[in-house]
Amino acid sequence: MIPAAFDYHRPASLDDAVKLLAQYGDEARVVAGGHSLIPMMKLRLAQPGHLVDLQDIAALKGIKDTGAGFEIGAMTTQREIIQSAALTAACPILKEAAEQIADPQIRYCGTLGGNVANGDPGNDMPAIMLALDAVYLAKGPAGTRELKARDFYESAYATKLKEGEILTTIRIPKPPAGHGSAYVKQKRKIGDYATAAAAVVLTMSGGKCASAAVSLTNVGDTALFAAAAGAALVGSSLDQAAIDKAVQAAVGIAQPSKDTRGPVDFRKSVAGVMVRRAIEAAAKRAR
Amino acid sequence: MAKMHVKMTVNGGEVEALAEPRTLLIHFLREQLSLTGPHVGCDTSHCGACTVDLDGKSVKSCTVFVAQANGASVTTIEGIANADGTLHVLQEMFREHHGLQCGFCTPGMITRAYRLLQENPNPTETEIRYGISGNLCRCTGYQNIVKAIRAAADQLSGKKEAAE
Ligand SMILES: Cc1cc2nc3c(=O)[nH]c(=O)nc-3n(C[C@H](O)[C@H](O)[C@H](O)COP(=O)(O)OP(=O)(O)OC[C@H]3O[C@@H](n4cnc5c(N)ncnc54)[C@H](O)[C@@H]3O)c2cc1C
Ligand code: FES
Ligand code: FES
């Protein structure tokens, strides 16, 4: 499979990259790790005339601990996330999710920025960003905007990112110490997207759930934030009745399509099982 | 479309060539450099037969443009053997433990195992299986591949101890 021809650019700075995108308009596309874009180009589902490679831009790399949270450069790879001890200590769900993405070769290349900007409902990181209430920084010709992950996803491959903008940084608030989290994913084999997956981040206080965020992967047009599922847990002791209510609320917003992973009802049912397991695992890990 | 001038280090030697940016690294290696060790198995980023080492990372060269690899250092299976032409311990152990049958997956498998052992010289069986999960083998059932990698890890660490 040979992609259509393109001109290749490798800017050394963010400003140069933004300028190239402005110059070439909808002909241009940025490439990060390339492991979503290149397969699409090989199938000629994407045919950019100009490819702007972000690999040399130092400002897009690295993980910074700001005290209140982390600022992760968009070009940070899934492997670098897995290897960051600081990130894992404060926010272990990032590593847990990254380890369930694709395979080792792909994790060396695939970036957090590419995974969250891509807009494929099968990508795993968007649901994590919804659960953690992350903020994306996007730089365009007019300057930098802040976009909440929970408002970012519109439909498959459609996000709030405007033409000419580059996602530069993912800002993640640290969940409180003692929080419990889990990302549970059902897939048919290594390197497969989720049949359904669920992320849960919760805190406990005096035996009661004090806060809870629940989100879903690949059972809708976008990753889904299940606000009602989180609300069903808050104030409970995470007893069976509360978990049942949360599962029901989460499955209620799932709208998977029938595909090779199974019919609609099956995938909804798997989503429910994933939510239940994620809540139970997060509860065990919370202090 | 204009060709670009690419320059990279391949198996320790400097290489300069003209190539279209859209050329996939696997095609560049196989067709322009005649390095036919890395194979095209699936052409869809799944099988790992095309695995090469790129700046210290295992990558699927069917999913990298030659333009992205411009300036990089690449090692293919042709660059794994020792300088004197004898087999690398991993190659030796794949032979010894029947880590291959048809051999189609083997260049990718060994190139991946090479990087795995660089990063984790003493992997458990689980770590080996997870570490090679991006490489598919249709023949062996993996059992002997895992054995071969584990045996290579033993030999390599034994060698290091002996040298110390
Ligand atoms: C076999 C296989 C299995 C996979 N399995 C999974 C899986 O289970 N779960 C999963 O989540 N992913 C999976 N992936 C996808 C992989 O994780 C991708 O690497 C990731 O989705 C995209 O990251 P990237 O850096 O490769 O982005 P690219 O492919 O380079 O880019 C993806 C898209 O995002 C845009 N983009 C990238 N970076 C930016 C930026 N900084 N600003 C603005 N736009 C940007 C690009 O223009 C492009 O449209 C799989 C891929 C393969 C090949
Ligand atoms: S040919 Fe590259 S992964 Fe199969
Ligand atoms: S030995 Fe035949 S595919 Fe692995």
- The H-or-E segment that residue B51 falls in is strand B51-54
Q: How far is CA B46 from CA A106, A241, B34, B80, B103, in A?
A: 9, 42, 23, 23, 17
Best residue in A7, A50, A51, A105 for a mutation probing chain B (most B CBs within 10 Å): A105
pLDDT on residue B50: 98
Residue B84 belongs to a domain: no
Q: How far is B89 from chain A (nearest CA, A)?
A: 22
Mutation target among B46, B54, B130 for the A interface, most CBs of A within 10 A: B46
Ligand 3 in reach of B145 Cβ (< 6 A):
no
- Phi then psi for residue A158, to 5 deg, are -120, 120
B136 lines ligand 3 (CB under 6 A): no
CA gap B62, B54 in Å, rounded? 13
- Report whether pLDDT(B116) > 80: yes
Residue B26: C-alpha distances to residues A1, A45, A181, B64, B74 (Å): 12, 21, 40, 8, 11
In a domain, B21, yes or no: yes
Same domain, B72 and B98: no
Fold (topology level) of A7-53: 3.30.43
Taking an 8 Å cut-off on Cβ atoms, the answer to whether B68 and A55 are in contact is yes
Report chain B's mean pLDDT, rounded to a whole number: 96
Cβ proximity of A50 and A7 under 8 Å: yes
Report which bound ligand comes closest to the CA of B145. 3
Q: Tell me how far apart the alpha carbons of residues A11 and A82 are, in angstroms, rounded to a whole number.
A: 27
Mean pLDDT for the stretch of residues B78-95: 96
- Token readout for A54 is 């972000």
Q: List the structure tokens of B100.
A: 């291959």
The angle, 0 to 180 degrees and rounded to 10, between the axes of the packed helices B143-163 and B89-96 is 140
From chain A, pick out residues whose CB is under 8 angstroms from the CB of B116: 104
**Cβ-nearest to B46 among A2, A8, A191:** A191
Number of cross-chain residue pairs from A and B with Cβ atoms under 8 Å apart: 82
Ligand 2 nearest atom to the CA of residue B62, by list position: 2
Closest by Cα among A145, A151, A99 to A125: A99
* Average pLDDT rounded to a whole number, residues B44-71: 98
Contacts of A53 in chain B (CB under 8 A): 67-68
8 A C-beta contact, residue B6 and residue B67: yes
Please report, rounded to a whole number, the percentage of residues in chain B having pLDDT higher than 90: 94
The third-level CATH classification (topology) of the domain covering A182-286 is Enolase-like; domain 1 (3.30.390)
A58-173: CATH number: 3.30.465.10
**The pLDDT of residue A88:** 98
> How far is the centre of ligand 1, averaged over its atoms, from the C-alpha of B55 (Å)?
20
Contact criterion met (CB < 8 Å) for A34 and B68? yes
Asked whether residue B148 is assigned to any structural domain, the reply reads yes
DSSP structure string for A220-265: SSS-EE-HHHHHHHTTS---HHHHHHHHHHHHHH--PPPBTTB-HH
Rounded average pLDDT per 10-residue block, chain A, 287 residues: 96 98 98 98 98 98 97 98 98 98 98 98 98 98 97 98 98 97 96 97 97 98 98 98 98 96 97 98 96
Helix (H) or strand (E) holding A199: strand A196-205
Task: Tell me which chain B residues have a C-beta less than 8 angstroms from the C-beta of A39.
Answer: 44-45, 63
Q: What are phi and psi of B146, to 5 degrees?
A: -60, -45
Final residue of a structural domain among B60, B79, B98: B79
CATH number for the domain harbouring residue B126:
1.10.150.120
Are B107 and B145 in contact, with CB atoms under 8 Å apart? no
User: Any idea what the CATH number is for the domain that residue B66 is in?
Assistant: 3.10.20.30
Task: Tell me which residue of A43, A38, A48, A110 sits closest to A79, measured CA to CA.
Answer: A110
Residues B144 and B97 in one domain: yes
pLDDT at B160: 64
Extract long-range pairs of B41-47: CB within 8 Å, 24+ residues apart.
B41/B104, B41/B105, B41/B108, B41/B136, B42/B136, B43/A1, B43/A42, B44/A1, B44/A39, B44/A42, B45/A35, B45/A38, B45/A39, B45/A106, B46/A191, B46/B136, B47/B105, B47/B108, B47/B135, B47/B136
Termini Cα distance of chain A: 51
From the CB of A129, is ligand 1 less than 6 Å away? no
Spatial CA neighbour of A116 closest among A62, A68, A170, A67: A170
The residue extents of the domains of chain A are: 7-53, 58-173, 182-286
ipTM reported for the complex, 2 dp = 0.95
Whether A80 is in the pocket of ligand 1, judged by its Cβ within 6 Å, is no
pLDDT band at B2 (very low <50, low <70, confident <90, very high): confident
Instruction: State both tokens at B82.
Output: 């020792």
Q: What is the pLDDT of residue B42?
A: 97
Nearest atom (ligand 2) to Cα of B40: 1
Question: B132 CA to middle of ligand 1, Å?
Answer: 21
* B9 in any annotated domain: yes
B106 falls within a domain: yes
Q: Please tell me whether residues B67 and B98 are part of one structural domain.
A: no
Contact A60, A16 (CB under 8 A): no
Question: Which pLDDT score is estimated for B158?
Answer: 85
Alpha-carbon gap: A53 to the closest alpha carbon of chain B (Å): 7
pTM of the model: 0.97
Residues in chain B: 164
Residue B158's domain spans which residues?
89-163
Kindly identify which residue of chain B lies nearest to residue A190, measuring between CA atoms.
Answer: B133
* Residue B53 forms part of a structural domain: yes
Q: Which atom of ligand 1 is nearest to the CA of A191?
A: 3
B120: left (phi over 0), alpha (psi -120 to 50) or beta: beta
Helix, coil or strand: residue B74: strand
Residue of A nearest to B51 (CA): A105
| CA nearest neighbour of B63 among A103, A105, A4 | A105
- Among all bound ligands, the one having the nearest atom to the CA of B137 is 3
Whether the predicted pLDDT of B161 surpasses 90 = no
Average pLDDT (B127-140) is 98
